[in-house]
Amino acid sequence: MVNKTNKYALILGGSSGLGLATAHKLAKHGYNLILIYRARRSDRDTLTQEFELMKSHNVSVTAFNKDALKTEVINEILTELNDIKISVLVHSIAKGTLKPLLNEANQTLTKEDLDITIHAMGTSWWQWTRAIIDNNMFASDVRNIAFTSEGNNTVWQGYGAVSAAKVTLEALMRQMAIELAPLGIKTNCIQAGATQTLSFKMIPGNEHIAEMSLKRNPFNRMTTPEDVANSVYLLCKDEANWINGNVLKVDGGESLR
């Protein structure tokens, strides 16, 4: 049994994929968890089992099945948590449009699609960070982490809006790394290799991306959510307190080819 650290990690999008794997990893190492996510009623029993497994590590799990992109929800949750100091903020929201810029069927990317995607997967990170600062809820030593992808500089079919969101995310990361450093906040992005998550499987042509990933990766396998969760934990360690303003590639060397 792991002793509690009395540290809290808030994970945006903690019910699946990279966010869920990160929650399990941090729970295993004694972090109390605050998980904010959207899940269908049919997933409730499965998630309850996941949360109970996290609690088995002698940590608390506070879960909110709410829309993390709504300002009123942010205010409501932080008000409820007002006596907690957050040591780790992880942004793992995956919500967006995977439409082409142009096609004959006219199912094309609109301004509204772009706005929704860039906010969900980009600017909402800063919105949450700012809200936690304004409510004086960060601890004195903080890790602020978000997930980007190789689609930040590679053209994939239908990935335009998400790519725009990822480069926005990275620009905000660099700015926060400098401007929030006096508050003890270390801000970084993790660029995972191709990972078989539900979000990945929604990308048009994901089978080809997966096939190419296996060919490019020197270890001949795809990245797993657990690989990424391990890297989050590494950034949370005391020994990582001088890592700030970086895009950490967690892909086994895949992006070198």
Q: For 211-246, what is each residue's pLDDT tens digit?
A: 888 999 999 999 999 999 999 999 999 999 999 999
Q: Average model confidence (pLDDT) for the chain?
A: 92
CA-to-CA distance for 135 and 123, rounded, in angstroms?
19
Report d(CA 11, CA 222) in Å as an integer. Answer: 24
| pLDDT recorded at residue 36 | 97
Q: Give the pLDDT score at 75.
A: 97
Report the topology of domain 8-250.
Answer: Rossmann fold (3.40.50)
Q: What is the pLDDT of residue 1?
A: 42
- Predicted pLDDT of residue 4: 60
Q: Is 132 exposed, middle or buried, given 0-12, 13-18 or 19+ CB atoms closer than 10 A? A: buried
User: Where are the chain's structural domains?
Assistant: 8-250
Q: What pLDDT shows up at residue 106?
A: 66
Q: Which residues of the chain have pLDDT under 70?
A: 1-5, 104-106
Q: Are 28 and 57 in contact (CB under 8 A)?
A: yes
**pLDDT at position 195:** 87
pLDDT for residue 44:
86
- Concatenate the DSSP letters of all residues of 110-150 into one string: -HHHHHHHHIIIIIHHHHHHHHHHHTT-EEEEEEEEEEEEG
